[in-house]
Amino acid sequence: MPAEAPVPDHDVVVVGAGPVGLLLACLLAQDGIDVVVCEQRDGDDPRSRAIGIHPPGLAMLERAGAGAAVRAEALALTGGDVLSAGRVLASLDFPAERPVLVLPQPRTHALLRHRLDLLAPEALHAGSTVRGVRDEGAFVRLRVDVAHRRRELTAAFAVIADGVHSDLRTDLGLGWRRRAGRAGYAMADVRDPEAGSRALLHCGPDGLVESFPLPGGIRRWVVRAVEGEDIASAPGFRAVIRARTGTDPVLGDDVVPVAFVAGQHLARVPVRGRIALLGDAAHEISPIGGQGMNLGWTDAGRLAAALTAALADGGADLGDHARRTVRAARTAQRRSAFYMSMGTPARGVPLVAREALIRVLGSGPLRGWAAGLVTMRGL
């Protein structure tokens, strides 16, 4: 008689307790699935990254039971204006039934973590670094370092949600293809009691400046880098905003702008056997447009359903999850590349054509469609 496959320790091991891994774990735990999340960090992730939560992302937070807590803390944007050289080219309003929320990622993360603690208090293994994952056919085996000691874990499935620089994706040879859209930016979150509730996108001749209100009287400024301009120091950052927008931002000299490169990549193979990539490990979406975390959440919603079905019938088939992940990521990346192109420095005919396009997109017949685009309709 052939030897029986050992019973794995868990149904699912998620690698990485970022916002995407945590949301998946909440969805699985809610369905009674035995899920463990290995996270290399012991403490919080203080990085200020995502702020925008779009309707598809909010729907996933609701499904995971974290929607009410997020809505209670977040600021709801009432709309956004696109400007060039002080003129408003287009204005969109976000209706209350399709809200765009703003909440700094560390808070969203904390609320998801709290939700997981309520659903499955033992699920999060902090201080656990996964060094390797292998598909053994009937189960997966993970090598995990905990406090300098090597452990092994087995599970029916492994979900790799270890972020954009995923070492495991590289080890598994799942590919990482560059996609269109790449530029440098700097951002700063500053105190501003007049921040209001509308997003302002300045797409003028000298390059993009974005301004978003955050809860608690904070404003985020995002400035596109242009060669020869200093946006690394507070005085330089402020001078560039003033020159490009015509307004003097409320921004003290103690502010330290954070530089980042917005790039786009897509994994070649998002699912192999019992191993699935998720979130930024599967696709990097440019932050311009604010879709990366939200897209990771919608992928997590689909993956949770696929895992639940596979576990119920004892198989390893995750259905069309890989195909749909790739399709959604390509759509989001095309949209982000378009948003980035609207903020490149431009002069003459290209600038006139761009401004005309923005005006058309903000005009009566197309306004609803454009609002759907920026609020991630269909993703």
Ligand X SMILES: Cc1cc2nc3c(=O)[nH]c(=O)nc-3n(C[C@H](O)[C@H](O)[C@H](O)COP(=O)(O)OP(=O)(O)OC[C@H]3O[C@@H](n4cnc5c(N)ncnc54)[C@H](O)[C@@H]3O)c2cc1C
Question: What does the binding site for ligand X look like in residue numbers (CB under 6 A)?
Answer: 15-21, 38-41, 45, 49-52, 105, 129-130, 161-163, 167, 187, 260, 279-280, 287, 290-294, 296
Q: How far is the CB of 177 from ligand X (least distance, A)?
A: 17
- Indicate the residue among 132 and 137 with the shorter CB distance to ligand X: 132
- Nearer to ligand X (CB atom), residue 40 or residue 359: 40
User: Counting Cβ atoms within 10 Å, is residue 181 exposed (0-12), middle (13-18) or buried (19+)?
Assistant: buried
The number of beta carbons lying within 10 Å of the beta carbon of residue 39 is: 23
Q: Which is nearer to ligand X, 21 or 67 (CB)?
A: 21
Burial letters 135-146, b for 16+ CB under 10 A, else e: beeebbbbebee
Query: Please, which residue, 270 or 354, has the CB nearer to ligand X?
Result: 270
- Nearest distance from C-beta of residue 19 to ligand X, angstroms: 5
Given CA atoms 235, 238, 242, 244 in this order, what sign does their dihedral have?
positive
Continuous segment of H or E residues that includes residue 313 = helix 292-313
User: Which residue's CB is nearer to ligand X, number 175 or number 246?
Assistant: 175
Residues ≥6 apart with Cβ < 8 Å to 106 = 44, 45, 46, 47, 48
Complex with ligand X: residue 182 or 359, whichever CB lies closer: 182
**Residue (211 or 355) nearer to ligand X, CB:** 211
Closest to ligand X by CB, 223 vs 251, is 223
Q: How far is CA 246 from CA 79, 218, 243, in A?
A: 21, 20, 6
Report, in Å, the least distance between residue 102 CB and ligand X. 8
Q: Which is nearer to ligand X, 234 or 360 (CB)?
A: 234
Rounded to the nearest whole angstrom, what is the least distance from the CB of residue 299 to ligand X in the complex? 9
Smallest gap from Cβ 290 to ligand X, in A, equals 3
Shortest CB 50 distance to ligand X, Å: 3
CA 10 vs CA 15, 308, 364: distances in Å = 13, 13, 54
> In whole angstroms, how large is the CA radius of gyration of the chain?
22
Using DSSP's 3-state secondary structure scheme, residue 140 falls into strand
- Residues 325, 326, 329, CA angle at the centre, nearest 5°? 85
- CB of 187 within 8 A of CB of 222? yes
Integer CA distances (angstroms), 218 to 76, 184, 207, 215, in order: 14, 23, 23, 6
- Contact status, residue 202 vs residue 210, Cβ threshold 8 Å: yes
- Provide the minimum distance between the beta carbon of 167 and ligand X in the complex, in angstroms, as a whole number: 6
The distance of closest approach from Cβ of residue 361 to ligand X in the complex, given in angstroms and rounded to an integer, is 21
Q: How far is the CB of 246 from ligand X (least distance, A)?
A: 25
Cα(283)–Cα(295) distance, rounded to whole angstroms?
9
